[in-house]
Amino acid sequence: MGKTSIILDVDTGIDDAFAVLFAAVHPEIKLLGITCVDGNTNIDNVVANTLKVLDAAQAPDIPVARGALRPLLGQSQYAEYVHGADGMGDLGISPSKRKVDSRSAVELLRDLIENSSEPVTIVPLAPLTNIALFLRSFPETAKKIHRIVLMGGSASAGNATAAAEFNVWHDPEAAAIVFQSGVPITMYGLDVFMRPGITREQANELQKSSLKTAQFGGALALAFMERLGVSPITLGDYGAVASVIRPDLFTTAMFDVVVDTSAGPARGQTIVDRRDAFLRELEPIDLEDSAKVRVTLDLDVDAVVKLWLDTIESKN
Ligand code: RIB
Ligand code: CA
């Protein structure tokens, strides 16, 4: 099986860390680089946390670049009640000796895509500020993107608000730019995001492992459980990465989607048109601002969880 070349865009974050661990270790993934953006926590924490996760994964020198330090228009709105003051569970992990790349996030995205001989999939797991800025800064390179598989949005309820999922809600204008870009998009949203999770027993087993990557994954999961007071705990962003290399484990369908960028109570909602064809033709969704998006609706939860566990326990 050939490798799939991907670039992650993260706001690490505990569940971004689950995704980075997986992407750095899985043999079918060629992790070209990681771009960091303001989201769960501030950009300095995001960069520091991402470098620490690469240490835990004992990953090779993968370029990590610093991106936007706030949304295009709004103010930052951190989720420290979920991810902790440092954005990664306040575990007191030693700072990494790795250095952040000298390029900005949009420059790294440009270079990695331009220099790749293979199709590149961008996997945003965070507010879409960096991706929107990249699309606007390097439109010729943007045409070379194979596809975008993003964690964000919802065809049902929100989490940041009743209507909106956090990544889209944090920067709705950026999300609208990305959705309307014409790049093929798969949306891994809240309809599936919470379902693949691990139990306290599984997390304890991982933490007792002799393998560094597994220990780190277990410690993160236990910290996540403590903060949210739930078990099983979702593997969150990881699911979007799994859907890139194992699409057979996921069920998707195409829908017209529009991002609400109004100032009202639905700001940041991804409005997914699930009506039947007759009504959609009678009164189409706002065709100006809508896009045809592949929406993830279901998954084989046990297989997706097993894939993560097997992968992070596969490397010392
Ligand atoms: O709504 C969930 C998303 O918001 C995840 O990407 C989580 O890490 C936060 O960024
Ligand atoms: Ca995230």
The closest residue, in CA terms, to atom 1 on ligand 1 is: 166
pTM over 0.85: yes
224 near 14, Cβ under 8 Å?
yes
Domains of the chain by residue range: 4-254+293-312
What is the per-residue pLDDT for 199? 98
Q: What is the pLDDT, as a whole number, of residue 288?
A: 83
pLDDT at 74: 86
Closest ligand to the CA of 191: 1
Give the model's pLDDT for residue 1.
66
Per-residue pLDDT in tens (0 to 9) along the chain, 316 residues: 689 999 999 999 999 999 999 999 999 999 999 999 999 999 999 999 999 999 999 999 999 999 999 999 989 999 888 889 999 999 999 999 999 999 999 999 999 999 999 999 999 999 999 999 999 999 999 999 999 999 999 999 999 999 999 999 999 999 999 999 999 999 999 999 999 999 999 999 999 999 999 999 999 999 999 999 999 999 999 999 999 999 999 999 999 999 999 999 999 999 999 999 999 999 999 888 999 999 999 999 999 999 999 999 997 7
**Closest ligand to residue 15's CA:** 1
Pocket test for ligand 1, best of 130, 150, 151 (most atoms within 8 A of CB): 151
Q: What is the DSSP string of the chain?
A: -PPEEEEEEE---HHHHHHHHHHHH-TTEEEEEEEE-SSSS-HHHHHHHHHHHHHHTT-----EEE--SS-SSS-----HHHH-TTSSTT--PPPPS----SSBHHHHHHHHHHH-SS-EEEEE-S-SHHHHHHHHH-HHHHTTEEEEEEE---SS--SSSSS--HHHHH-HHHHHHHHTT-S-EEEE-HHHHTSSEE-HHHHHHHHT-SSHHHHHHHHHHHHHHHHHT-SSEE-TTHHHHHHHH-GGGEEEEEEEEEE--SSSTTTT-EEE--S-HHHHHHS---TTT-EEEEEEEEE-HHHHHHHHHHHHTS--
Which residues are near ligand 1 (CB < 6 Å)?
A: 11, 13, 15-16, 39-40, 125-126, 151, 159, 165-167, 236-237
Residue 315: predicted pLDDT = 78
- Superfamily covering domain 4-254+293-312: Ribonucleoside hydrolase-like (3.90.245.10)
